[in-house]
Amino acid sequence: MDINEIARLAGVSRATVSRYLNNGYVSQEKRQLISRVIQETGYVPSQSAQQLRTGKTGLVGVVIPKVHSQSVARMLAGITEGFLGTEYHTLLSNTNNDPEEEIRCLRAFAERPRVDGVILIATVITDQHLEALRALTVPVVILGQKLEGFSCVYHNDYRATLDVARIAVRKAQHPAFIGVREDDVAAGAMRHKAFLDACHEAGIEPRPEQQVVGDFTVESGYLCCEQVMDAAPDTDAIVCATDDIALGALACLREYGHDVPNDVQVTGVGDSELSRILVPSLTSAHLFYKTSGYDATRILLKAMENGDEIPRLLKMGYETYARNSTL
């Protein structure tokens, strides 16, 4: 079954069927005839033929740092929702937090374009990332970081963390911070800066041993909390860069017999579902991860369909929830 057979069965020309398949103008009468034949025969247009004709693959590359992150999962939910009802499907590349693998993925898209656009859920951006991004011949949207010269959808990491840190330090004298690597500007540098600014506003000078760097996992939160409490037993608040880190810190404090929040307050960032049902429930900032994924998709669709090359910057809002892990 091919386009010529569809035209014969519908009693129309091959050109009419071609216009129908490519969303061109076809009269309502002929559109109904063609549609009926396609439904009856189960005809599916050849992907390779469509690519040759339109120059489009119908695929969008999505590069993610990890699959087991709640924030990434929420962004992916928004991305896939944004493509529903369009001609595009996603091609997912999980890099397991390996910057070199991210660069290889981007270079592959540049050298052999098999996608019509790219969404990069970004963490660390190196000079090699920039080189690979600039070599892309298709539209790209950066999700999670602000990068000059590119369309970006990013979160207000500084203000969100500042709000929860203020809650923690208003009744604390010896606060601590568990963060992530600071070359991740959004989750690392911005959230750490927010903690320090909240402390300075309160007239508190946090000690070096109360500022530690881990990774994005619950296990890291546990180990870092243990490190902080061993080095500074008088710690009475722990501001965590993510909810997962905070979950690990809560587990550690519970195991060592510390009451939360009366002995030690704990805050997170991200407002994961688990943070709301914990005992005690976690004070956190809600970042609109799913909405950011959806918005990144809409920006990319406009660029792919209309050739819009103007970089778009979208900073997401946030909401702060004071719960039972703080006083």
Asked if 88 and 149 sit in the same domain, the reply is yes
Kindly tell me the sign of the dihedral angle through the C-alpha atoms of 64, 214, 189, 135: negative
- What type of residue sits at position 13? S
- More confident: 110 or 125: 125
Asked if 135 and 215 sit in the same domain, the reply is no
Provide the pLDDT for residue 245: 98
- Angstrom distances, CA of residue 51 to CA of 2, 15, 17, 159, 211: 16, 17, 17, 45, 53
pLDDT in tens, 213-225: 999 999 999 999 9
Asked if 235 and 268 sit in the same domain, the reply is yes
- Angstrom distances, CA of residue 309 to CA of 115, 116, 149, 300: 17, 14, 10, 10
Q: Which of 45-59, 230-244, 260-274 has the lowest mean pLDDT?
A: 45-59
Q: What's the CATH code of the domain at 92?
A: 3.40.50.2300
Asked if 273 and 228 sit in the same domain, the reply is yes
Residue among 66, 295, 77, 312 at smallest CA distance from 187: 66
Q: Is the pLDDT of residue 199 over 60?
A: yes
Domain of 116 in residue numbering reads as: 59-155+289-317
Asked if 258 and 170 sit in the same domain, the reply is yes
Residue 132 host element (H or E): helix 127-134
Asked if 131 and 167 sit in the same domain, the reply is no
- The structure's pTM equals 0.85
CB 143 within 8 A of CB 292: yes
104, part of any domain:
yes
pLDDT in tens, 44-75: 766 545 554 555 789 999 999 998 899 999 99
Q: Is the pLDDT of residue 15 over 90?
A: no
Give the residue-averaged pLDDT of 269-274.
95
Number of domains in the chain: 3
Asked if 282 and 307 sit in the same domain, the reply is no
Provide the pLDDT for residue 25: 84
Asked if 196 and 279 sit in the same domain, the reply is yes
Asked if 293 and 148 sit in the same domain, the reply is yes
Asked if 283 and 161 sit in the same domain, the reply is yes
98, part of any domain:
yes
53, part of any domain:
no
